[in-house]
């Protein structure tokens, strides 16, 4: 009899990704071919506090609550980033197993060009907080618009950046009271 370890390998989507018991991915280096492709495009890992604005899943519209389904995902830039135009498509994977939803993109396609390897993740892989009422395999998140960072290694959390919550509101007064009060300090 073979005992199963605490970690497994995901078989679909981004193959070869090691995951935790809750199904969320472990940190992983960006593949060499993606780093080379990004260098050819003149794009390197994002500097601290630098991010691109993305529509996480193109199937879900641009604003409002979103139901991300675990598995493959295609998003796009909704604002230019460096020399990448709006509507540049991002291809990747969504994981919903833990308390946070994790989205990693592993390919990019600039309009009119071929698809190329690429490494970026939503919210620097600290993840977005999902609604606790989310059903298995689904993450209900506050908004389909999010910040994503270009990375050389997936899952590396920058401790200087706030983690786990993404608030997109039209007015500060609409924020939850604890968040609003923390901004006044």
- Flag whether 84 is in a domain: yes
Domain membership of residue 159 (yes or no) is yes
- Does the residue 69 lie in any domain? yes
pLDDT tier, 124 (very low <50, low <70, confident <90, very high otherwise): very low
pLDDT in tens, 155-173: 875 444 444 444 444 555 6
Q: Which residues pair with 108 in a beta bridge?
A: 90, 116
Q: Would 176 be classed as within a structural domain?
A: no
- Would you say residue 112 lies in a domain? yes
What's the chain's average pLDDT? 79
- The model's pTM: 0.76
Torsions phi, psi for 75 (to 5 deg): -120, -175
The SS3 call for residue 75 is strand
Q: Please report, for the domain that includes residue 116, its CATH number.
A: 2.40.128
The yes-or-no verdict on residue 146 having pLDDT over 60 is yes
Query: Average of pLDDT values for 29-45?
Result: 92
Distance, CA of 97 to CA of 95 (rounded, Å): 6
Domain count, the chain: 1
Q: Is residue 105 part of a domain?
A: yes
Q: What is the extent of the structural domain holding 37? A: 28-167
In this model, does residue 6 exceed pLDDT 60?
A: no
Residue corresponding to tokens 């389909």: 144
Instruction: Give the pLDDT of residue 106.
Output: 97
- What would the pLDDT profile of 16-36 be if each residue is shown by its tens digit? 788 888 888 889 999 999 999
Range from 40-44, 49-53, 67-71 carrying the lowest mean pLDDT: 49-53
* C-alpha neighbours within 13 Å on the C-beta side of residue 169: 11
């Amino acid at each position: 009899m073979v005992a199963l370890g605490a970690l497994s390998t995901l078989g679909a989507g981004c193959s070869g990704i090691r995951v935790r018991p809750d199904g969320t991915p472990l940190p992983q280096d960006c593949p060499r071919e993606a780093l080379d492709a990004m260098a050819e495009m003149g794009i390197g890992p994002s500097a601290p506090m630098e991010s691109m604005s993305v529509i996480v899943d193109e199937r879900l519209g641009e604003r409002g609550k979103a139901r991300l389904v675990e598995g493959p995902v295609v998003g796009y830039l909704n604002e230019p980033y460096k020399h990448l135009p709006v509507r540049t498509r991002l291809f990747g994977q969504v994981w919903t197993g833990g308390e946070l939803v994790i989205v990693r993109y592993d390919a990019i396609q600039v309009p009119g060009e071929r698809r190329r390897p690429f490494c970026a993740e939503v919210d620097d892989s600290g993840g977005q907080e999902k609604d606790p009422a989310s059903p298995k395999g689904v993450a209900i998140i506050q908004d389909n618009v999010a910040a994503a960072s270009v990375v050389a290694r997936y899952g590396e959390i920058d401790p200087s950046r706030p983690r786990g919550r993404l608030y997109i509101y039209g007015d500060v007064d609409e924020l939850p009271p604890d968040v609003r009060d923390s901004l006044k300090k």
